[in-house]
Structure 1
Amino acid sequence: MTHQIQEDQQELIELFPQREHLGLRLDKYVADELPELSRTYLQQLISDGSVLVDGLVRRTSFKITPGQIVTVELPEVEETELLAEDIPLDVVYEDSDILMINKPAGLVVHPAAGHSHGTLVNAVLFHAPEISIQGSTRPGIIHRLDKDTSGIMVIAKSDRAQTSLVEQWQAREVRKQYLALVSGVIEEDTATIDAPIGRSSANRQQMTATRSGREAITHFTVLERFEDCTLLDVAIETGRTHQIRVHLAFIGHPVVGDALYGNKPSARVAERLGVKRQFLHAQSLSFDMPGAGERVTFEAPLPSDLSVVLEELHSEETDADSVV
């Protein structure tokens, strides 16, 4: 079957596995059927949920069976040249396979509408020019952090690292921990939020908890309670867009400083403490090192704009204790 690929517009392609395809991995099957696209790019599409088998999201390692229908959605890609830009990176660790960075708040991860330059991808291409673009606007990008979320990120520098990390993400073998300051005092010491997330019909810039959304699971542990806010250690099993922010707002405790999902109480806390952006920081990532296989953990220290907020909260507690 011949497939015409047009990456300048959104297109759905249906593939129909035959008897000879029995047992092939999903990524291998689609790569064989669509040689115009690199396997690395296709693995990213699978990870993003843009490749479905009988309407269901599957892992790259899923085994194909004749009679199934494989649907590939090629996202709209702007015709923009990716340029290497000398943007400083806070490198936590680097070898021939991976690059670990501490992303600052305010830095967009990859080019998109309105952000064709000055992104993390532009910086990575300058720092590690050996990373191949391979037809993608997200070379080496395995996961994302929102523009105003700081913290640890891993970049794949080699094909084997890309394959290994994508598979670990899909198998939920990567441990992702965040530090979040939320509005209000949470009584539970630990809790799990299990609520599907989808795009809001009222505001296309927002995501929302909805039964028709994709599975999303967030765990949190209370680290400290203050007068009108709570410091949380947050771990996510899934990686939906804005997941932590949506889930915490869903239970009535939005992230302090979150302009998109916050409410009046969280805005008051942010104003009182001088929080200029969402208090959300990716503090650690744990995964199996590509190639070697040993379990590793990389951490990113809390940036100064957030650490001064915690200092202020602790100072308020000390002052309150001294009055008593």
Structure 2
Amino acid sequence: MTTVDTSTDEQDDELFEHHAFSVDKGQNPLRIDKYLMNRIENATRNKIQAAAKDGSIYVNDTPVKSNYKVKPLDQIRVLLEHPPYEFLLTPEDIPLDIVYEDDVLLVVNKQPGMVVHPGHGNYSGTLINALVFHFDNLPNNSSDRPGLVHRIDKDTSGLLVIAKTEQAMTHLSKQFFNKTSEREYVAIVWGNMVEDEGTVEGNIGRHPKNRLQNTVFEGDDADKGKPAVTHYKVIERLGYVTLVSCKLETGRTHQIRVHMKHIGHTLFNDERYGGERILKGTTFSKYKQFVDNCFKVLPRQALHAKTLGFVHPVTGEHLSFDSPVPEDMQQCIDKWRNYATHIEE
């Protein structure tokens, strides 16, 4: 977050940067309200137009109206009179499942449904709200988020390491940046994977037409987004779905969800990426009922951050942690395992 001094003789107000964008070189002329709708999650056109009317949207440091047409290399900033809500952290007495703790770090097992950090309409009940209640003076990361070295999605369960000192934050962040940390996820994906193991490589970035999704860029657009590498291995074939292990070489937003969809194996019940529909199987009504029951048992994407490994920032010891597959996902696996034994060849 940055603040801007806009003092004049008549006022002494401070504006806070909520969003900042650098327009791509190849951008076609587009109204700024439409442009921002594609880039700010949970933004509505009315809100954006109201912000423009209030003089809160700046292009190249000049306020613009909502009908302004963005041009290549424009620098867009949304400045408001209050800090972003995600920086107004309220400590909350939320229980944490701590699997390891010492003086410089802790490892937590995040439950599904818990948002990691405030933002996008989730300003309370997050992991960080819990952390700032239970721990004093956590170091901020580069995004001013206390203790957070890495993150996982709201509806993904599993392991996260939290830094308690500046030294630990720096050391652990470097390990994640240099890809020396170890992370393994387990996922249920639609379809029977042909190969027992493989690697998915492809730059990941925001989907140009669906602002809530990320996508893999190919062909002429292959240089867009950020490099991402996922290694996968089949754990168990369960008929019309497959239980897989995914190891991350990089840590892009929604990486496993995007890469699995890219190779035709969308995560089971991943609503954002279309996995909440029946993508493989039969047309029988009994099958539809079975899948619906699986969705009810596991009302989220089937993804769990199972193992986490890194070098301790003080002792130099290699630490490795493993967390059990949570009950909702295990029930879903059991249902598919039982169903698969009755599928006729």
1:8 lines up with 2:16 in the alignment:
yes
Closer, same or farther in 2 for the Cα pair 1:75/1:292, shift >3 Å? farther
Q: Aligned equivalents of 2:338 and 2:312: distance in 1?
A: 41
Please name the residue that 2:156 is paired with: 149
Given that 2:192 and 2:242 are in contact with CA atoms closer than 8 Å, whether structure 1 keeps it comes out as yes
Q: Secondary structure at the match of 1:234?
A: strand
Larger C-alpha radius of gyration, 1 or 2?
2
1:8 counterpart SS class: strand
Kept in 2: contact 1:96–1:157 (CA 8 A): yes
Q: Are residue 304 (structure 1) and residue 327 (structure 2) matched? A: yes
- For residue 129 of structure 1, report the CA deviation from its aligned partner: 2.1
Residues 204 and 216 of structure 2 are in contact (CA less than 8 Å); yes or no, is this contact kept in structure 1?
yes
The answer to whether the aligner puts 1:204 opposite 2:211 as a matched pair is yes
CA RMSD of superposed structures (Å):
2.7
Give 1:110 deviation, angstroms.
0.5
Q: Secondary structure at the match of 2:324?
A: coil
Give the structure-2-normalised TM-score: 0.70
Give unpaired runs (5+ residues) of structure 2: 5-14, 23-75, 281-287
Q: Is the 8 A contact 1:185 1:229 kept in 2?
A: yes
Match of 2:25 in 1: none
SS state at 2:278 partner: helix
Counterpart pick for 1:102 among 106, 109, 112:
109
- Residue 241 of structure 1 corresponds to 253
Compute the displacement of 1:201 (Å). Answer: 1.2
Shift of 1:199: 0.4
Shift of 1:251: 0.6
Moved more, 270-279 or 302-311: 270-279
Does residue 1:221 correspond to 2:233, yes or no? yes
Q: Does the C-alpha gap of structure 1 residues 293 and 74 become closer, same or farther in structure 2, counting only changes over 3 Å?
A: farther
The one-letter code sitting in structure 2 at the alignment partner of 1:300 is: S
How far apart, in 2, do the equivalents of 1:230 and 1:134 lie? 36
Summarize the alignment of residues 161-176 of structure 1 with structure 2, pairs less than 5 Å apart: 161-176=168-183
For residue 311 of structure 2, what is the aligned residue in structure 1?
A: 288
Matched residues in 2 for 1:176 and 1:170: separation? 13
| Distance in 2 of aligned mates of 1:157 and 1:316 | 46
8 Å Cα contact 1:110-1:137 kept in structure 2: no
CA offset at residue 302 of structure 1?
1.0
Amino-acid identity (%): 39
Give, in angstroms, the shift of residue 273 of structure 1: 2.0
Contact 2:141 2:147 in 1 (8 A): no
How far residue 189 of structure 1 moved from its aligned partner, in angstroms, is 0.7
Name the SS of the counterpart of 2:271 in structure 1: coil
TM-aligned CA distance change 1:170 to 1:75, over 3 Å: farther
Instruction: Give the match for residue 123 of structure 2.
Output: 116
Flag the 1:129–1:270 CA change in 2: closer, same or farther, 3 A. farther
Displacement after TM superposition at 1:270 (Å)? 4.8
CA contact (8 A) 1:182 1:266 kept: no
Aligned to 1:273: 294
Distance in structure 1 (CA, Å) of the matches to 2:141 and 2:176: 21
Unaligned runs of 5+ in 1: 14-72
> In structure 1, what is the equivalent of residue 35 of structure 2?
none
Residue-pair matches, total: 260
* Preserved CA contact (<8 Å) 1:142 1:155: yes
Over 3 Å counting, the alpha-carbon distance change for 1:74 and 1:169 in structure 2 is farther
Equivalents in 2 of 1:129, 1:74: separation in Å? 33
* Contact 2:139 2:166 survives alignment (8 Å): no
> Are the equivalent residues in 2 in contact too, given 1:107–1:119 (CA < 8 A)?
yes
In structure 2, relative to structure 1, the CA distance for the partners of 1:75 and 1:231 (3 Å cut) is farther
Using the alignment, how far apart are the partners of 1:170 and 1:177 within structure 2?
16
